[in-house]
Structure formats: structure tokens, C-alpha cells
Structure 1
């Protein structure tokens, strides 16, 4: 009974705008036509305890008449009026929305004792749009009530018209929720180029990037090793935004290629005669990206002067071309890429801290291919399709060749130092050499040898994966280890580097022998092995 009494005691409050035309007229015949604000109170089954009527001062006569009529048809309703200033132009969205927003922020909503409904028929379209936006954003915490007149041609039409409630909590609508989930899945699938990636961490990362790409115009910083896919992802983000109305172009530049006096000219443009060789004006990449997206890869390689100019362009949307005395404007969206730690670059004085703060709002770290081994198989299929498209003939692998390649590619000790560039190049080479594009075991084995050789580094004491044991252990200690043991130790270190924990590394290394043991303590077993060389798991993960 207490709960029922509380529900019945909730005050129902309607918030609406006085309609100068639709609610208009003070003549007796006003009762013969549909008036949205008054008619809403003529529905016997629809009761409101209070009306908050928003008006402008110059319409006070109509306001008082409408308030009087409401009290006549619904005596139990308290009518409160509020004067707002929409300015001279009722179609000025900024002014109308601002006035309604200020009123909503100042209104003492009591969500425990009152429930609110917002009427969206009266006023200009701009006023109705503003009310809708304020409800959607939560500044007006209520449901929308949309009213409309009955069909004019009906003889027995209801003067009260029709009404409908609109709840913007779309999660309550199963069909809409399903559609939104499908739309999001389509979007994230687009960002992944249709690749059915299996790595849970990477999939979560793409979900976040999808949300930011569609909701924020702020800079995005993509970090990760060379070949992790930063450039490819930046272009996919641009294409996604292009589908949602972005009007400009995709402009890409690797900042490592911008050196000396030409860097500022390439980015910001120059005027004729500003330096020797400047025979005509040059717009620069920032102006080419106006209205579009600028991708600055390896932004850590940009000079300090250019960093300062870029910061101004991001904050003010203006910059000075080389040799110019008047600033030019460009409204672009920035995606920056880097394979180095910009925080460390700030400490060393190589990167401006204020610029890092500006581009660090949305930072996403792309994992290396060696950290996504479960995604190698779907990426292999993607690369085969890509090669088929570029070479003009079908590229595929027989079953045995595929198994052989994936066994090598997914092994914990396969370093993939060039990440997806290595995978891309490997598939291209195998497909090119394969008879009629059908990759056999012969091409796979040849490619495995080629990849292993490419990952070796001159002067290294290692026999596997590019690890320099002399650097890790010291020249003297390394010289005391037999070559056979060096190869084994390199393999163990590579497994440790690709594992999330020492337990994971132990399970991978002792997967066969552990089945024969009644008690398997893989972590302890690995720890003791590493200790023989004065190493531990943390030291092995250092690169």
C-alpha cells in the first residue's frame, strides 16, 4: 500500500512553448479549432497536475488567454508561465536553443516526486528541435508528448486532436536496439576491412575507435610499432567519416620525410618569393586537408618549429604560410601516428609538451602482429584476396601449404619484426612464385627461410629471432654458453616476450612434458632455467 500511495502521489508536469499561431486567437470561435496547448488538456484520460508554459513577453495577452482556457477545461491543473527571450529571429537555432537550455539548467527538477513531459508541437521548427535535443541530452529529464490535429475532412473529428508519447530511451525498443547493434557491428567490421579478427583486446580497441570516430572531432593519436596498421586504420576512419558527411580529402604524410627548410613549406605552404626557388605560391598539406582528414605519421619526427605551428593550427584553425604576413585558415581533423614514446621525447626536449597534451585526448595503441597470433589466419585470407585483386589472377593455398605456413606464423618464437608488412610481403611473394597462383608447401618453405633470414641482424650472437645474447648477458658470459644452448635460450626468450605472464610462457614451452607429470609447475620450472643464465621473466621481456 505504501508503494501504491507513492506512485499515485507523483506530480505530472507538462512543459511546453506557447504557439503564437497554433494557440492564437482570443475570439469565441477559437473553441471550434484545434489548439495544441489547450487541446492537450481536453483528453479526459490524460491528466497533468501542472503546466510550465514558456512564452515571450510580447505575447502576454495570448498567454493569459491560453492559461485561462486551460483552467476552464482542466481546473485541477496549475498553470505557471515563464518569460524567455528568443531574440528577433525565431529561426536562430543558437539563440533559441541557448534560451531553452538556460531555462532548463535553472529549473528545480524534482525527479523523486515529479515526472515530466515535454510538448513538441507548438513554436517554430527550431524551437521543437531544441526541445528534442534538450530531452535527448538529459537537460529536460522527461518524455516527449507529440500532438497533432485529427483529419480535417472527418465530419466528427475530435477537436482535442491526437497525442503520442515518445520515450528517447531507445534501449527499450527491441527492434531499434537490434538495428543499432547491427549498425555498430557493420561499422567496426568496416574499420577492420571485413577481417574476422579473433583477438579480444584488438576487437575492444576497434569498438572504442568506432565510438570516437563517429562522436568526436578531436585529434586521434595512434601508437604502435612500424607495420602495425596505423596508416591503414587512419584511412578507414576517414572513409567511415566520409560516409557520415565529411566533405574534404584524406591527406597523408610521413613526417620523417619532412626535413630542413622544406618541412614548413610542405605542411603550411609558402608564398611566391619567400625563399630561393619559391617561384609560385604553394597551398601546403594543411590547406589541402581543409574539411577533411590529415594523417601525420611518425609525428615525433616533426621539428619543434613545425610543432609550434601545428599546435596553433589545431587550436585556432589558422596558421602562417612561409613568407606570408596574413594567416590562412583550414578546418581539418587530425590523426597522428607514432612508433615511439612521445612522453619520452618530451623529456628529452624533442617534442612539445603542449602539443602532446593537445593530441593525447584519444590515444589508441595498436598491438604488434606477434601479440595477435590468433588473427594471423583471418589476415592471411585477407591478404590472399588482396593479392588476387592486384595481380589479376586468383591466389590461394592448398590445405597442406596453409597448415605449414600457419604452424610457422603462429608459433610463439616467430617474431614478425615487420608486423603486417612482413605478412603482406610474404603472401605477395608466395602468390607470385606459385604455379597458377596456387601456393604449395614448396613456396611456403622457401618463404619461411626467406623471412627467418630477413629477421637476422648483422653482428648478432644469436641464432634465432634477432635477439642479441651478448647484449643481454655480456660478451664474457655469452662466450661461455655453447652454441646449442644459445639457440635454445633464444627460443625461450622469444616465447617469454610474446607471453602475458611467466605461467603462460611455461605452459607453452613445456606443453608436451607437462602431460607426463603429476604436478606441473611450469612457472617455477621456467624460473629456474632462466636463473642459470642470471635472467628472469621481466628481463626477457625487455627489448
Structure 2
């Protein structure tokens, strides 16, 4: 059995007006709905202000004379300001929420020809959001006025998936967006392609924080910038793309860089500083290696993300900044949360959308298309054609996909390798000899990056049992690793250089041996004793300072 037609619409206080006999020669949009011989309107829900009750009653009588089968419900809806969007929408929303829609037996048409422009917009939004489960109804006057000329009407279904032309355009736009996020690289890895497809949908639909994890060189920073450029092309952001590696932020400089400061906030603060969060207003902020932030900065960032407000250093007045946060990390933040290194509430806030980008080893199918992309880019920069000879390409691809290829820096390593090959290619030809030399270079680079592994060390050989029991797991594991490095090193200085291989480069005065000696003394240990056969365990009750 076909469903009944039910129309919901506002009374047109001007278009639907008319009292004398001449009103029948005038086109009245609400009346015209029931004048079509081939369409029966079973019920009309007519919304009207109390001031127009006489007009509404007269229109209902005219409808009854033309189409007695149509049931008319007059619904009084008083709106103080019919041009106030919030007031009109609230009134229509309240009515729709209380109405008993029966979509199984009735189909609903929302008439948008009558009422103020604000009322028409609100009616559109109610249908688009499915609070009114139907389609839009647009009526138009006839070319000739008269009683027997009801004009025309058009039904507009807002389910855009039903429009083939629009669907084709949407599919094309999505394909272009996916291609943009992948920098035009025809990637083949199914998992990665599915990942990018979801990221594309999230990027254009959501303003919530996004967490990108994965190894160094997997493309987190590049993808974040492409997401920003995609949103900007669709006018979803107006501000800049702001990027910072949190591993480079230390001490007062960390909070100052992120949140800004007032003049005199600390020694060296000679002028006001806006800070990166404020700079990113209406744009996107990419915090790479977010796990490196200190606890104070984590707390301040949580407030900024949740409330869009924060307090610059040295200021007693909060400032606001509305930005989208993209966070990057090569660590497992879940483990950091469990160990108390990262705030659980901040992790929950930035983990609404979380994606792990696979490294090069997990995407062997994508090595070849990435090489082709990098060669094309190098050729454009050099202004000449650059290509592999067939045998050279075969050799390089075999190596790139073999287990001997470490690709520690992932796509960063691959990009550097192709750049070297393109630069050294005589006549734009990458020959077999050049590939073999590059493979040797990569082996040498990766060999240099190998770090000595600390053998396991039994602390019971050096510390009393009760002292070991009082150690945190963190202290115990750290001390075991330090002792292992000491035992594998020839001198105290060599062990210090190995253990402080990164922080030593940031010091004006380097004394690795002294730093290591002081650390060992906290546990009552000395370098000389660690390089000799261990003594019997200390007696219970001995004490050592565990402070770091």
C-alpha cells in the first residue's frame, strides 16, 4: 500500500493571503499544493503565528473546498522575531522532536516556498539533519494566473548519494584528495592505502586532535603538512601551519616557545613572545615527538586543547587560540602513560584519532613507486631527465627489498639515497657501478649507526638483596644497562662517551668520565670494581643513596 503524503510548511502571511473572490485568480503556494489532480496531499501540518489565525482558518476552508480529502492541522507557533535564526530554529526543533513521525506509512514533504528566508533555511536544516525525515518541497507559480493553474512543484532529496552526477564528483574529489595526501605516489600497500583513505575523511570532516605514530622517517611530518594543505584548499583553515619538534624544547624555553611569555618572565625575557600556540590560531599545530614534553608543558597543553585558552609565562591574563592539534611520536605513549611519563588525560584527549604509519620495511610494495617519485622530483629540480639503466634498477630494487637493507631512517634514508644517485648520474643515467657504490655507502652508514648493546648484568653481584628490592624497576633496569656498558668498555671515558653520546654534544664542557663516576657513586659503586671480578654480595643493612 502506498504511503500517505504529509506536507509540513509555514503559512505565507503575504503569499497565501486573500479574502475576496479574486483570491482564486491569485497563485497561493500553500493552496496550490492540493490543486494538482495527479497528487493527493493527505495531511497538511500548517505552522502559523497567532496574529494570522483568521488567515490560517480561511486558507483551511479554501483547501477543504478544493480537496476535501486533505486533512489540515493548524499549529500555532508564535515567534517573537521571525528573522532571529536561533529562535526560529529552536521553535521548529521543539515541534519536530515532539511530533510522531510514522515513516513506515507516511512520507513527509517540507514546504520551503513560504515563510521568511530564515524559516526556509531552518526547514532545510531540519530535513538535512533528519529531524524531519523527508524531502524538501519547492512550489512555483504558473505562467498564467487562474483558478485552474496551480503551478508546479519539485521534490528535492538531500540524500546526495542518490544523485549520480554528484556521486561521481564526490568520488573524483576524494580520489584527488587521496592522491594529494600521498603526494601523487601510486602506493600499492593495501594497509597503507586504507589508512590514508580514513585519514582523508577525518581530515576534511573533523577538527579534533589527531595522533600520528610510527618510526622516524615514516612520513608523519609530511603527512601532517599535506593534511593542512588539503584543509586549506577547502577553506577549512585560515591560519598557518606551525611545526615544532618537542625533543628540542628544554627548560623555560619549552613553555616559552609553546605558550609565549611576557617581558621579564624569566632571565633573558627582554620582550614579549607570542608562542607557537598563539601563532597557530585558526590553523594547525604539529607537535612532533610530543612524548618528549615535560609534565608542566603537558598540563598546560591539555588546558589549551580542551578550553582553547592558556596562560603565557609571566602573565596573569589568559589568551585564546583556536587551532587543530596534530601530534607525532615514535614512542608507544600507552607505555609512557603506564610508567607515569605521559599524562593519561592528555593522551586520552589527543588520541581521538590515532594512526600508526608503517615504516619502509612494512611497505616493500611501495619502495619502487617511491623511488620513481623521488627520481621525478630530482629531475625537475635538476632540469634534466634522470633514469636508471635496466640492470641498475634491478640491482637497486633487489637490494632495497632485501633483509640487508636496514632503512633505519625509513623514507628519509631512501630519499637521501636517491638524491645521491641522481646527483652523481652522468648524463642523467644511473648505471650499475653507481648503484653498487651507493649500496656500499648505505652499508657503511648503517654500520656506523650500530650502538653497542648492553649485556644483562646481575645486580646481586654488586648490591645487597635488600637494596635491590628497594630499587624502582626504572632504576634497576637503568643500572643494569650502565654496568653492562662499563664492563664492555676499555676505559671509564669510553663508557661515558657511549652512555652520553647525545647530551654530550649539547654541553660546553664535556667530562663524560666524571658524570659516569658520580652516577655510580650514588649506588656505592666504583668503575674499578666493575671491571674486576665481582666481590661477594654486601651484607644486609648496607646503604646507598638512590637519588638521581
| Structure-1-length-normalised TM-score | 0.79
**Which of 51, 55, 62 pairs up with 1:62?**
55
Q: Does 1:298 align with 2:307?
A: no
**220, 223, 228: which one aligns with 1:230:** 220
Does the Cα contact within 8 Å between 2:24 and 2:147 map onto a contact in 1? no
**Kept after mapping to 2: 8 A contact 1:17/1:54:** yes
Inter-CA distance 234–157: structure 2 relative to 1 (3 Å threshold)? farther
SS in structure 2 of the partner of residue 165 of structure 1: strand
1:243-392 aligned within 5 A: 243-245=233-235, 246-392=237-383
Q: Provide Cα deviations, 1:67-123, integer angstroms capped at 9, x if missing partner.
A: 2222222111111122335442x3333332232223222211112221211112112
Any conservation in 2 of the 1:150–1:157 contact (CA below 8 Å)?
Answer: no
2:142 aligns to what SS in structure 1?
A: coil
Helix, strand or coil at the partner of 1:335: strand
SS at match of 1:455: helix
- Secondary structure of residue in 1 paired with 2:175: helix
1:236 Cα offset (Å): 0.6
The offset of 1:180, in angstroms, is: 1.6
> Could you say if the C-alpha distance between residues 459 and 162 of structure 1 is closer, same or farther in structure 2, counting changes exceeding 3 Å?
closer
Whole-angstrom CA distance in 2 between matches of 1:330 and 1:23: 49
* 1:129 corresponds to: 121
Displacement after TM superposition at 1:470 (Å): 7.8
Residue pair 2:259, 2:313 contacting (<8 A) in 1 also = yes
Aligned match of 2:102: 110
C-alpha contact 2:29 2:139 (8 A) present in aligned 1: yes
Is the CA contact (8 Å cut-off) linking 2:24 and 2:146 kept in structure 1?
Answer: no
Alignment of 1:121-160 (within 5 A): 121-151=113-143, 154=144, 159-160=149-150
1:482 is aligned to: none
Select which of 202, 207, 225 maps to 1:212. 202
Tell me the residue number matched to 1:395: 386
| Alpha-carbon distance in 1 for matches of 2:245, 2:317 | 27
User: Corresponding residue for 2:72?
Assistant: 79
Aligned mate of 1:93, from 79, 82, 85? 85
Which residue of 411, 434, 438 maps to 1:420?
A: 411
Q: C-alpha distance in 1, partners of 2:68/2:420? A: 85
CA-atom RMSD in angstroms: 2.2
For residue 452 of structure 1, what is the aligned residue in structure 2?
443
The whole-number CA distance in structure 1 between the counterparts of 2:93 and 2:383 is 59
TM-score by length of structure 2 reads 0.79
2:11 is the counterpart of 1:52: no
Which is further off, 103-112 or 168-177?
168-177
Task: Tell me by how many angstroms 1:157 deviates.
Answer: 10
Question: Is the Cα–Cα contact under 8 Å of residues 426 and 447 in structure 1 kept in the other structure?
Answer: yes
Aligned equivalents of 2:24, 2:151: Cα separation in 1: 13
Q: Secondary structure of the equivalent of 1:272?
A: coil
| Counterpart Cα distance in 1 of 2:449 and 2:243 | 33
- The alpha carbon displacement at 1:380 in A equals 0.7
CA deviation after TM superposition for structure 1 residue 65, in Å? 2.5
Q: For 1:251 and 1:80, how far apart are their aligned partners in 2? A: 57
How many positions carry a matched residue from both structures? 455
Structure 1 residues 427 and 18 mapped into 2: Cα distance closer, same or farther (>3 Å)? Answer: same
Name the counterpart of 1:202. 192
Q: Is the 8 A contact 1:256 1:301 kept in 2?
A: yes
Q: Is the 8 A contact 1:299 1:336 kept in 2?
A: yes
Deviation at 1:214, TM superposition (A): 1.0
Q: In 2, distance between residues paired with 1:325 and 1:27?
A: 71
2:429 & 2:196 partners in 1: Cα distance? 33
Please tell me whether Structure 1 or Structure 2 has the larger radius of gyration of its CA atoms.
2
1:335 offset after TM fit, Å?
0.8
- Conserved in 2, the CA contact under 8 Å of 1:13 and 1:52? yes
Going from structure 1 to structure 2, the CA distance change for 1:423 and 1:167 (only over 3 Å counts) comes to same
Match of 1:442 in 2: 433
| SS of corresponding position for 2:395 | helix
Aligned partners of 2:150 and 2:295: how far apart in 1? Answer: 69
> How many Å separate the matches in 2 of 1:127 and 1:436?
70
Q: Is the 8 A contact 1:12 1:114 kept in 2?
A: yes
Which is worse superposed, 138-147 or 18-27?
18-27
Partner of 2:510: none
Per-residue deviation, residues 276-313 of structure 1 (Å, max 9, x unmatched): 22121111111111111111111111111111111111
Q: Work out which of the residue numbers 12, 19, 24 in structure 1 matches 2:5.
A: 12
